[in-house]
A = this chain, B = another copy of it.
Amino acid sequence: MASKFMKIFVIGFTLSIATAFAQDNKNHSEFIDGVYKKCLTEGTTYQLLGELCEKFPNRLSGSPGAEKAIAWTKEVMQKYEFDNVFLQEVMVPHWVRGEKEQASIATGSSKIDLAILALGRSVATPAEGLTAEVIVVKSLEEIENLAPDKVAGKIVFYDEPFAQEFANTFRGYGASVQKRVAGASRAAKLGAVAVVIRSVGTGDDDFPHTGSLRYDEDAPQIPAAALGAHSADKLAKILQKNPKAKLFLKMNCQTLPDVLSYNVIGEIKGSENPEAIIAVGGHLDAWDTGQGAHDDGAGVMQSIAALQTLKSLSYKPKHTLRAVMFINEENGLRGGLKYADLAVENNEKHIIAIESDAGGFTPRAFSFKGADSSVAKMQNWIAYFPNNTIDAIRAGHGGADIGPLNKADGTPVAGFIPDGQRYFDFHHSPADVFSAINKRELELGTASLASFIYLIDQEGL
């Protein structure tokens, strides 16, 4: 009898666990279906991003545009009646482009204008510009092998194409971007007077792609700029015919003193464990070219809209949900660093920090940096997402802005991974405008973030 009773008990217990699990599964699936439907039919991300791009297209750290965008995103979250909306003070670098850059090359009796953008943090040319012969190199490695007398007094042209061979464009970017970051100082050490690079971008067009450089302390600071792909083609062709042709560059950029700026934060308070935070964010600053639509207007608007979507579905989170608009990702990361400092100082407890900073494209995956057991657990969640939205949750990185928090206190971090094939057509270039955004793709990103936050809030890591 005891054994029979035990058997019934075990069967009953197993069934009740199975039923509860099935119920959870059904509830999660239904809730997440509702999130996607809400975003696809009544989503506000697209309209918010349109407004951000139109009103504050130029919002590089320290600029008037950034200041206004900070005030506006705060207002947006206040209008949505988030429980708590506040700013975090942070000093940011203040680099300005000045008047539009000029580049041209004389060939025979004619002058060919080239499309360029100064690289972020670059110094200016002399006020009247500079003119010099050009030496073409294919890579950072190639320039190391050149004798200084081949380089001294010249402009170095890094004519390296984007590494298209990788299915993952971010790997291609990683393999191609070092010349942008380190090319100026390497050339300067050999006596170069300036550098131009073939833009680190995938498009077959003439949009120059800017981005930060880093000057070494032991090298003179020389001007550096990116050329549009077609302009780089033209320059290469002209130099092949006439290696003595001289390139003219005029750049007016400069670094002004640091200025006070802010991270913008909005919270929905948790009902059970309000001290435990699930943070989601992107960066509000953007390069002063295009409108920062994909990089990273999409991510900041999705972060706000993800919380607003849960709110509009009357979801009462167990833990505090926080949308964070980080400042200064592009040329300093000061916002991310300050956020981490304050989290430690205030003894905040983050369950996770999630970043959306890979464009407003169709969702594919989340990457996660934390315990292996969490990755395994999350992989069971893939079934809750509609097919061809979130198809994978993999071990990987979080994002630039949340890296410092992960480093400071070990907070697990996750990155939203939309499809990346078109990202580097737009990244850091005048092509990164609102018309390059597809509404459904953008709203599906919001739905994916909201669903992921919901699952973490419900199930933990």
Chain A interface residues (CB < 8 Å from chain B):
36-37, 40-41, 164-169, 202, 204, 362, 364-365, 386-389, 391-392, 394, 417, 419-422, 425, 438-441, 444, 447
Contacts and interface: CB of A to CB of B under 8 A. Distances in A.
A358 to B, nearest CB: 11
- Taking the full assembly, how many copies of this chain does it contain? 2
A388 to B, nearest CB: 5
Contacts of A441: 421-422
Nearest to A36: B167
A392 B389 contact: no
A431 to B, nearest CB: 13
A445 to B, nearest CB: 11
A362 B440 contact: no
A388 B166 CA distance: 12
Contact of A167 (B165, B439, B444): B444
A164 B420 CA distance: 23
Contacts of A444: 167, 421
A83 to B, nearest CB: 29
B421 A362 contact: yes
A41 B165 contact: yes
Contact of A440 (B164, B386, B392): B164
B387 A204 contact: no
Given A391-B364, A392-B391, A419-B362, A386 B168 contact: yes
Given A164-B440, A365-B391, 20 more contacts: A36-B167, A37-B165, A40-B164, A40-B166, A41-B165, A167-B386, A167-B388, A168-B386, A168-B388, A169-B440, A202-B440, A204-B439, A364-B391, A365-B388, A388-B392, A388-B417, A388-B419, A421-B444, A422-B440, A425-B438
A37 B175 CA distance: 15
A205 B441 CA distance: 17
B362 A168 contact: no
Contacts of A167: 36, 40, 386-389, 444, 447
